[in-house]
Structure 1
Amino acid sequence: MLKKRKWNYFGTVRNWTSVFEHSGQFIAIHHFIKDKPLKELMGIPDRIHWSEFLNESDFNEIMLFTHGLEEQLKMKCMIPEQTFVDALKDPYNPLMNSPKHKLMLWFTGEEVTLLVEIFFNPQQFPPYGVKAPMNWPDISHRVEYETQSLFAALDYIVQPEITSPDAMTIEDSINPDTLQTSKLDIERIFKECTKVIVAYSGGKDSSVILQLCVEFVLEHPEYQDKLYIVSASTGVENPLIEKHIRSMQEVVTIKLDELFENGFDESRFVIVEPKSDQTYVTCVFGDGFIPPSSTFKWCVERLKVNPGREDLLERFSDEDLVCQVLGLRTLESSNRSRSIQEHFGDDLYGIHVLRGLKTAPPIRHWSGADVATYLATKPSPWNDEYSNHRLINIYGMASGLMECPIGAMIQNDNDAIKSCSGSSARFGCWACTVVKEDHSLKNLVEAYPEELGSYYKMRSLLKGVQDIRYGGCSGYYRNHGGFSSGYGDLTIDVRINLLRNWWELNIPLPEIEVIEIIKKVKAREVPEGLAVSNRFWDTLYRFLPVHPGINHRAMYDPIWEPNYLRNEDNKKVKLASVGIDRVTQIDLSWIANYKLVSQQIKAAIDINDCVQIVLKNQIVRGEIIEVQVVNGIPKVLKLQVAKRQVELPVTVIKQIKVTESHAHRVSLHQQMLDFSL
């Protein structure tokens, strides 16, 4: 169809996305042939037809193509809500001359679904990193036959599955030589170093390291003051592991404080976290980072490495000889084995990048069976408060090979041992999109559907937007205010879709991270001209305890003139700053006050209480007759003031206090009755 209309073919990227050009206007066609697109990532349909946009002579070729898809191929068109449509609906800013403005049209047929992206204005270069026109491919149908002998078919016979050498099978006991070697290494570490830091992730290997180190210092009290424990919370940890780590922090700290001669204060077991502007959600929704992949693991450094390094730099001086004890094992994977060999060789110690800090893996030669057997047969010093069987239980469920019924809660060590057999499981962030499928999380969802089901669903959507066929990438890289060829970062539209699903799945999004997202979008997207619609702000503001109000305006100016806005007459106005709708300290103070007032109402205000309410310019005194609550949050107070009723939105209340409680008045009344009787 396009070839007949003399469109130029610019190539195909990632197998299913092709780029075409006619008269300087580019379109990208994303094909879903062997699979169906996720409806959540297609967006919410907008009740509008493509003819409302493509009704000018400049768009004839595009119009003929879209018409052909509907009439000739009998495909149904759906236009999702998007910033392009928002811009056209704005009476003062119908601007389409930014590469960030593209129109997305979904066409669905019986067997094929297409996403057509239209880049209207002549661009400096084509989208998605293609370079120049090329010959149209030969797509004539070919039938190829494969001849195969009977004996060649033997290659397809499925062989019995061989148990992995690192399977978490539980033996009668761990090899005493293996255990003794690790104990001697740990003894050497404590003797040679002034500070010993256990890197505790909450997983099975680091749990063994922690227990071995604690057992050693309990036997040798002179080394107890050297022990420190550091864990990390990325903010998107598997909720079960996050809860497990927090519980361990509390239990271990209390227990070691009892057992150690000089005590063990809570500052010696810390959980480091990324800075609020470097979290997973602020990078995805604020910076527009595409979720991490195997080729771009931007998350590791920001979420784990940097917080850990900063903690080490703050807590330990150059004079300290520090060793970080790691739960690394060569049998985990071939990559891990090579990494350990390169870093440590045949020595116990490796060198950390910080100040010559030492690292050591005392259980590097342990197998998965050694780890499982040790945890199952060697009770920890805190066994009565928090047994190892809790962790083994989680691993058993994650492996998908439990012998106990799905979802049954294991109550003792024997049940835990039964649940763990034949397979290893890895844990990490629930939002991890580096792997194709998170089998551990998938298996755990079957055991904990209510706790983990929403996280697994959201993870599938985050994984989905890595696929450029959903139009989630801008199609161009940004370089300090300009553009260059490439896939680009996440569009505002796909961020809206993800945020909406995040909200609907009831996944927490901390208020401080929402504020950071707002700051990042205003600091980068708005000045560089990325159109940020009101829908984005409204979707994001859902996560705040109160909507900041309607005194903001969407930004639609093109990137080429970032220092200009347009007034109501559509004339350019130069501004010192284009950071419209920025969050100020006044905004933050207002939000904090609203939260305080809401908490006071929920905790201390009852119907028929007499209250004094301070507003901006007046004080109101009356009796509470109704509290209107939405989603657990007080929204409106109805008061009896003298002979009339007054409704006050909670958002306008500066202070509230009870002058006389209903319970107190009832008590006085009862006392008077008793006295009169």
Structure 2
Amino acid sequence: MTSNTDNNLAMNAGLDLTALQKHIRAVYRADDRPWVIGYSGGKDSTCALQLIWGAVRALPEDERRKPIFVLSSDTLVETPVIVNYIDDTLAAINAAAEDQKMPITAQKVVPEISDSFWVNLIGRGYPAPSKRFRWCTERLKIDPANAFIKNRVAEYGEVVMVLGVRSSESATRAQVMSLHKIDGTALSRHSTLPGAFVFTPIEAFSVDDVWAFLLQNQSPWGSDNRDLLAMYRNAQAGECPLVVDKQTESCGNSRFGCWVCTVVTKDKAMEAMVDNGEEWLEPLLDLRDELAATQDPQRKREFRDFRRRNGSVTFVGDAETPIPGPYLFDYRKEILRKLLEAQKLVNEKAPPGEKTALIQDEELREIRRLWRSEQGDWGDAVSEIVKETTGRELPVDGSDSYEFQARDAEVLADVCNTHELPPRLLAQLLEAERSVRGLKRRTLIHRKIAGILEKEWREEGEVLDERKERLDQRKLDVSPDPLFETKT
């Protein structure tokens, strides 16, 4: 029996899709390595998944023996429209796979809470990502996907990554795709993951080929690809691929991706969505633009500490001002408040079914822990801000409880004021002692105390004055040229 999909394959001008599906089946049956299909919800990965689904479904049921994992990466800061679309699609894929007896399971991977965007930016004070300090991609995209792949390699020995990437998308991508090709096979070696191979079935497709296929072939899991086209038109967007190595280009310019992305000058996709009727997303665009403004070299000192996260102060060459460190604690509190306010506004204006959480409770609790241990925030600013902006209590359990409370912070401040000591210094020493309480071996406490005492605890003005004095003294200490010495 011939399916509608098979009948439509020949309609795609310029490509022999019948031969391509035959090729996909040959690669699928060539070995016992399971497949992991990277699915971002965009046009390219959707096209690749539909092609593979159609090819494998044409096999007798007893030959569909190899598992196929559909893997989607959620950074926890994706545009809400995309998150909801992908969640609905993954559910539809799993339901259709079970109904059609396909060896396919779909799931999302997310970053570890300690690696999430808001825990790093608000909790640790990491500045908004830039081209020079793009700390987000590895933590939010590469590590979660690679952890899943490594687990499958440990389980099966080897896996094949199926990626919906095209060589025509960029010269860089074409070069990367050809670099690791294995002669005589359709596979490439993964650039960083041992035991992982890469298969790119739509490598030769153009953008027109992708859309022609999607609009002429019905989705096997019941989605309407015209909805996907409408989403692209509204956002004027490209697609963010599943990123599994540093060579794969991440998102930028007008691509769908993280709504907080400050690597690009403007988020054209988000702006286009707002202009095309998604006004409820405007608070996200405003907050993203505010974070981008903190990268202005003339304004960095408004938002960032003069110390690094390790407590040191770093100067370059003969500069009188240090390299900026993490966001100031007060500014982090301001960003948390604005984020929760944006979340409230978005959910008040969102269409039915589009409500979203911009930050998870698990992230809030991790930020709370970091602020207490690193900032001496015994007054629990996170819980206060959550209560003031949302009207609800932040859920905590026994492991989230702390011995030191707001009243203790007041006592500590009075003692430190009397003895002219920084309250954070004493707070960190007390937290260090509390963290090793009950351990049989307490050698760790000595290293912790030494690390705390080695930090720069003086005020900024005092540090900069000392720096200027040293630079001035260095100029005076320069020996005169012997050729011009005056002899007596």
Q: Normalising TM by the smaller chain, what interval?
A: 0.5 to 0.7
* 1:469 aligned residue: 298
Instruction: Tell me, yes or no, if structure 1 residue 456 matches structure 2 residue 285.
Output: yes
Q: What amino acid is aligned across from residue 337 of structure 1 in structure 2?
A: A
* 1:478 aligned residue: 308
CA distance in 1, matches of 2:171, 2:88: 33
CA distance in 1, matches of 2:198, 2:57: 22
Q: Give the CA deviation at 1:540.
A: 5.2
Match of 2:372 among 510, 513, 522: 522
Q: What amino acid is aligned across from residue 297 of structure 1 in structure 2?
A: R
Question: Are 1:178 and 1:366, in contact at CA under 8 Å, matched by a contact in 2?
Answer: no
Question: Are 2:364 and 2:382, in contact at CA under 8 Å, matched by a contact in 1?
Answer: no
CA distance in 2, matches of 1:322, 1:230: 13
With over 3 angstroms needed to count, the CA separation of the structure-2 counterparts of 1:204 and 1:472, relative to structure 1, is farther
CA distance in 1, matches of 2:342, 2:283: 5
Question: Are 1:196 and 1:324, in contact at CA under 8 Å, matched by a contact in 2?
Answer: yes
* 1:509 aligned residue: 359
CA distance in 2, matches of 1:392, 1:476: 48
* 1:158 aligned residue: none
Question: Are 1:325 and 1:360, in contact at CA under 8 Å, matched by a contact in 2?
Answer: yes
Q: Gaps (5+ residues) in structure 1?
A: 1-170, 401-423, 558-563, 584-677
Question: Are 1:292 and 1:299, in contact at CA under 8 Å, matched by a contact in 2?
Answer: yes
* 2:69 aligned residue: 228
With over 3 angstroms needed to count, the CA separation of the structure-2 counterparts of 1:566 and 1:254, relative to structure 1, is same
Question: Are 1:477 and 1:487, in contact at CA under 8 Å, matched by a contact in 2?
Answer: yes
Instruction: Tell me, yes or no, if structure 1 residue 349 matches structure 2 residue 187.
Output: yes
With over 3 angstroms needed to count, the CA separation of the structure-2 counterparts of 1:187 and 1:541, relative to structure 1, is farther
* 2:47 aligned residue: 208
CA distance in 1, matches of 2:106, 2:296: 40
Match of 1:446 among 251, 275, 292: 275
CA distance in 1, matches of 2:228, 2:405: 50
Larger radius of gyration: 1
CA distance in 2, matches of 1:535, 1:258: 50
Question: Are 1:473 and 1:487, in contact at CA under 8 Å, matched by a contact in 2?
Answer: no
CA distance in 2, matches of 1:374, 1:288: 45
Instruction: Tell me, yes or no, if structure 1 residue 254 matches structure 2 residue 102.
Output: no
* 1:272 aligned residue: 109
CA distance in 2, matches of 1:307, 1:260: 28
* 2:384 aligned residue: 538
With over 3 angstroms needed to count, the CA separation of the structure-2 counterparts of 1:502 and 1:579, relative to structure 1, is same
CA distance in 1, matches of 2:271, 2:408: 39
Q: Give the CA deviation at 1:304.
A: 1.2
1:154-303 to 2 correspondences below 5 Å: 173-177=12-16, 180-181=19-20, 184-185=23-24, 187-220=26-59, 221=61, 222-223=63-64, 225-260=66-101, 268-303=105-140
Q: What amino acid is aligned across from residue 226 of structure 1 in structure 2?
A: P
With over 3 angstroms needed to count, the CA separation of the structure-2 counterparts of 1:522 and 1:377, relative to structure 1, is same
With over 3 angstroms needed to count, the CA separation of the structure-2 counterparts of 1:375 and 1:282, relative to structure 1, is same
> Which stretches of structure 1, 4 residues or more, deviate above 4 A after TM superposition?
531-537, 540-544, 547-550, 553-557, 572-577
What's the secondary structure of 1:476's corresponding residue? coil
Q: Which moved more, 1:465-474 or 1:251-260?
A: 465-474
What's the secondary structure of 1:176's corresponding residue? coil
Question: Are 1:472 and 1:493, in contact at CA under 8 Å, matched by a contact in 2?
Answer: no
More strand by share: 1
With over 3 angstroms needed to count, the CA separation of the structure-2 counterparts of 1:190 and 1:240, relative to structure 1, is farther
* 1:387 aligned residue: 224
CA distance in 1, matches of 2:306, 2:108: 39
Q: Give the CA deviation at 1:546.
A: 1.5
CA distance in 2, matches of 1:575, 1:505: 32
With over 3 angstroms needed to count, the CA separation of the structure-2 counterparts of 1:553 and 1:498, relative to structure 1, is farther
With over 3 angstroms needed to count, the CA separation of the structure-2 counterparts of 1:569 and 1:333, relative to structure 1, is closer
What's the secondary structure of 2:70's corresponding residue? strand
What's the secondary structure of 2:108's corresponding residue? strand
Q: Give the CA deviation at 1:213.
A: 1.1
Q: What amino acid is aligned across from residue 304 of structure 2 in structure 1?
A: S
Match of 1:434 among 263, 267, 272: 263
Q: What amino acid is aligned across from residue 233 of structure 1 in structure 2?
A: D
More helix by share: 2
Q: What amino acid is aligned across from residue 223 of structure 1 in structure 2?
A: R
1:176-235 deviations in whole A, cap 9, x for unaligned?
Answer: 336734651463144234201111111111101111111111001312542111111110
* 1:95 aligned residue: none
* 1:603 aligned residue: none
Question: Are 1:183 and 1:212, in contact at CA under 8 Å, matched by a contact in 2?
Answer: no
1:493-508 to 2 correspondences below 5 Å: 493-506=330-343, 508=358
CA distance in 2, matches of 1:212, 1:392: 18
Instruction: Tell me, yes or no, if structure 1 residue 359 matches structure 2 residue 198.
Output: yes
With over 3 angstroms needed to count, the CA separation of the structure-2 counterparts of 1:398 and 1:554, relative to structure 1, is farther
CA distance in 2, matches of 1:342, 1:556: 61
Q: Give the CA deviation at 1:354.
A: 2.5
With over 3 angstroms needed to count, the CA separation of the structure-2 counterparts of 1:182 and 1:443, relative to structure 1, is farther
Question: Are 1:458 and 1:502, in contact at CA under 8 Å, matched by a contact in 2?
Answer: yes
Q: What amino acid is aligned across from residue 36 of structure 2 in structure 1?
A: I
* 2:406 aligned residue: 552
* 1:47 aligned residue: none
Q: What amino acid is aligned across from residue 539 of structure 1 in structure 2?
A: I
With over 3 angstroms needed to count, the CA separation of the structure-2 counterparts of 1:369 and 1:307, relative to structure 1, is same
Q: Give the CA deviation at 1:349.
A: 2.2
TM (norm. structure 1) is: 0.50
What's the secondary structure of 1:397's corresponding residue? helix
Q: Give the CA deviation at 1:325.
A: 0.2
1:162-181 deviations in whole A, cap 9, x for unaligned?
Answer: xxxxxxxxx97332336734
1:493-535 deviations in whole A, cap 9, x for unaligned?
Answer: 3223322221222253221111111112233334xxxx99986
Instruction: Tell me, yes or no, if structure 1 residue 304 matches structure 2 residue 141.
Output: yes
Question: Are 1:565 and 1:575, in contact at CA under 8 Å, matched by a contact in 2?
Answer: no
Question: Are 2:378 and 2:405, in contact at CA under 8 Å, matched by a contact in 1?
Answer: no
Question: Are 1:234 and 1:303, in contact at CA under 8 Å, matched by a contact in 2?
Answer: yes
With over 3 angstroms needed to count, the CA separation of the structure-2 counterparts of 1:334 and 1:494, relative to structure 1, is farther
1:39-118 to 2 correspondences below 5 Å: none
Q: Give the CA deviation at 1:342.
A: 3.0
With over 3 angstroms needed to count, the CA separation of the structure-2 counterparts of 1:435 and 1:487, relative to structure 1, is same
Q: Gaps (5+ residues) in structure 2?
A: 1-9, 238-252, 316-322, 345-357, 436-488
CA distance in 2, matches of 1:554, 1:370: 66
Q: Give the CA deviation at 1:242.
A: 0.6
TM (norm. structure 2) is: 0.68
CA distance in 2, matches of 1:320, 1:375: 34
With over 3 angstroms needed to count, the CA separation of the structure-2 counterparts of 1:448 and 1:510, relative to structure 1, is farther
1:359-378 deviations in whole A, cap 9, x for unaligned?
Answer: 12121121111111111111
Question: Are 1:399 and 1:425, in contact at CA under 8 Å, matched by a contact in 2?
Answer: yes
What's the secondary structure of 1:482's corresponding residue? coil
Instruction: Tell me, yes or no, if structure 1 residue 313 matches structure 2 residue 156.
Output: no
With over 3 angstroms needed to count, the CA separation of the structure-2 counterparts of 1:487 and 1:425, relative to structure 1, is closer
Q: What amino acid is aligned across from residue 392 of structure 1 in structure 2?
A: L
With over 3 angstroms needed to count, the CA separation of the structure-2 counterparts of 1:475 and 1:440, relative to structure 1, is same
CA distance in 2, matches of 1:269, 1:389: 22
Q: What amino acid is aligned across from residue 332 of structure 2 in structure 1?
A: R
